[in-house]
């Protein structure tokens, strides 16, 4: 079996991109990513990344929120390229570190991503390879594209209004319940199994909610829904293909409303969550817009890039072209 940490090919260390090598680079590393294997493999990863990209400043996170603060500090100190090594949750924190109250802290700075998480749903939408050598090749190319972010205002677990950005998907309803359950587990069997198991259990104990939903000035209704997905990317929840038409650079959210299904109908149609046929169902509706507002008289939890930060009410706005992400061409 090929060792993904081994550099091969013709003297890759001597052909690193001149543009990348001349930049001030910071790595934000989640050592707990990939069920803790990143911590064990970090010395090898660091050596290979140094050989390919040149010198950089590494920062290892120690807990929730660290990646945001480390990213923000690095940008304020002049970092021109931030490389996130971790999963979608770590990437979400790094993205939040790029953003200040009035927009990007350093609009000219670039973001690179080396996926190391259990799920990594975002790379199913954008062309970033999971394999380490190929991910480093992409970062060396410096081919950056501006991507949109979502900015949400919501109620956190302390009952206070809070703000947060997301790069992939925010949902509310069953998705928040699944996140809460997944984040209490070890994810020892990987992202897909963890999420499908949590989804099955949550479906059995969850009751669909009555949600008042407004999208721009075109849609304003109260719906009975299992889950509402506000999508920048196409996938979440360990591979659920909930927004097949979403694009990260079209300046719009693609909203999927999973409506008033019976429990039997939910289980019958569960495979359609993964094969892209979800939108064919009569009780699934889709909307497109730049602002989404939702409230409920019931407790409805949020799912924000796989994390569970709070609950409704929520207001979500698109921030077009907020971050320059390095991707494959």
199 and 307 belong to one structural domain:
yes
Given 142, 171, 195, the domain boundary residue is 142
210 and 127 belong to one structural domain:
no
Is 39 contained in some domain? yes
Is 2 contained in some domain? no
Read out DSSP for 233-279? SSEETTTEE--TT--TTSS-EEEEEE-S--HHHHHHTTTHHHHS-GG
Read out DSSP for 200-244? HHHHHH---EEEEEEETTTEEEEEEESEEEEESSSEETTTEE--T
184 and 293 belong to one structural domain:
yes
119 and 220 belong to one structural domain:
no
173 and 270 belong to one structural domain:
yes
Please tell me the predicted confidence (pLDDT) of residue 181: 62
- pLDDT higher than 90, residue 61: yes
235 and 290 belong to one structural domain:
yes
Question: Residue 329: which pLDDT band, with cuts at 50, 70 and 90?
Answer: confident
Given 97, 122, 142, the domain boundary residue is 142
Please tell me the predicted confidence (pLDDT) of residue 101: 82
Number of neighbours of residue 144 by Cβ within 10 angstroms? 17
28 and 112 belong to one structural domain:
yes
158 and 210 belong to one structural domain:
yes
Please tell me the predicted confidence (pLDDT) of residue 183: 60
128 and 193 belong to one structural domain:
no
- pLDDT higher than 90, residue 110: yes
pLDDT one-digit tens code per residue, 94-103 = 999 999 988 9
User: Among residues of the chain, what percentage have pLDDT more than 90?
Assistant: 75
Is 300 contained in some domain? yes
57 and 188 belong to one structural domain:
no
78 and 172 belong to one structural domain:
no
pLDDT one-digit tens code per residue, 186-215 = 555 455 566 666 667 767 778 899 999 999
Is 327 contained in some domain? no
Please tell me the predicted confidence (pLDDT) of residue 175: 75
Phi/psi of residue 200, nearest 5 degrees: -60, -45
Instruction: Summarize the confidence of residues 275-296 as an average pLDDT.
Output: 97
For the domain that residue 171 is a member of, what is the CATH number?
Answer: 2.60.200.40
Please tell me the predicted confidence (pLDDT) of residue 179: 66
Question: Residue 18: which pLDDT band, with cuts at 50, 70 and 90?
Answer: very low
Is 48 contained in some domain? yes
190 and 314 belong to one structural domain:
yes
In angstroms, what is the C-alpha Rg of the chain? 20
What range does the domain containing 200 cover?
Answer: 150-321
Is 329 contained in some domain? no
Average pLDDT of the chain is 89
Is 7 contained in some domain? no
Is 4 contained in some domain? no
- Its pTM stands at 0.87
For the domain that residue 122 is a member of, what is the CATH number?
Answer: 3.40.50.10330
For residue 44, give every residue at least 6 positions away whose Cβ sits within 8 Å of its Cβ, in sequence order, or none.
5
Instruction: Summarize the confidence of residues 67-83 as an average pLDDT.
Output: 98
Q: Which of the listed ranges 4-13, 29-38, 253-262 does the model predict with the highest average pLDDT?
A: 253-262
Q: How many domains is the chain built from?
A: 2
If you search the block for the tokens 């809070």, which residue do you land on?
162
**CB 93, CB 68: distance < 8 Å:** yes
Given 114, 142, 170, the domain boundary residue is 142
């Amino acid at each position: 079996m090929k060792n993904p940490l081994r550099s091969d090919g013709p003297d890759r260390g001597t052909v690193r991109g001149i543009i990348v090598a001349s930049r001030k680079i910071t790595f934000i590393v989640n050592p707990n990513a990939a069920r803790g294997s990143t911590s064990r493999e970090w010395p090898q990863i660091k050596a290979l990344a140094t050989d390919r990209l040149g010198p950089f400043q590494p920062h290892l996170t120690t807990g929730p929120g660290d990646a945001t603060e480390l990213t923000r500090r690095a940008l304020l100190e002049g970092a021109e390229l931030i490389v996130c090594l971790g999963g979608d949750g770590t990437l979400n924190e790094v993205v939040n570190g790029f953003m200040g109250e009035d927009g990007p802290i350093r609009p000219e700075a670039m973001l690179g991503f080396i996926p190391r998480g259990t799920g990594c749903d975002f790379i199913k939408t954008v062309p970033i390879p999971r394999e380490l050598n190929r991910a480093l090749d992409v970062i060396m190319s410096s081919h950056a594209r501006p991507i949109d972010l979502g900015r949400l205002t919501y109620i956190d677990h302390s009952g206070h209004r809070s703000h947060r950005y997301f790069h992939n998907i925010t949902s509310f309803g069953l998705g928040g319940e699944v996140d809460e359950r997944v984040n209490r587990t070890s994810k020892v069997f990987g992202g897909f199994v963890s999420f499908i198991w949590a989804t099955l259990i949550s479906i059995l104990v969850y009751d669909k909610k009555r949600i008042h939903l407004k999208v721009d000035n075109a849609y304003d209704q109260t719906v009975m829904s299992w889950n509402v997905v506000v999508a920048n990317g196409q996938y979440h929840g360990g591979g659920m293909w909930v927004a097949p038409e979403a694009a990260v650079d079209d300046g719009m959210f693609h909203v999927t409303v999973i409506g008033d299904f019976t429990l039997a109908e939910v289980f019958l149609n569960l495979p359609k969550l993964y094969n892209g046929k979800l939108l064919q169902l009569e009780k699934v509706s889709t909307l497109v817009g730049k602002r989404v507002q939702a409230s409920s008289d019931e407790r409805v939890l949020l799912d924000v890039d796989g994390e569970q930060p709070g609950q409704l009410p929520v207001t979500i706005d698109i921030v077009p072209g907020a971050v320059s992400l390095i991707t494959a061409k």
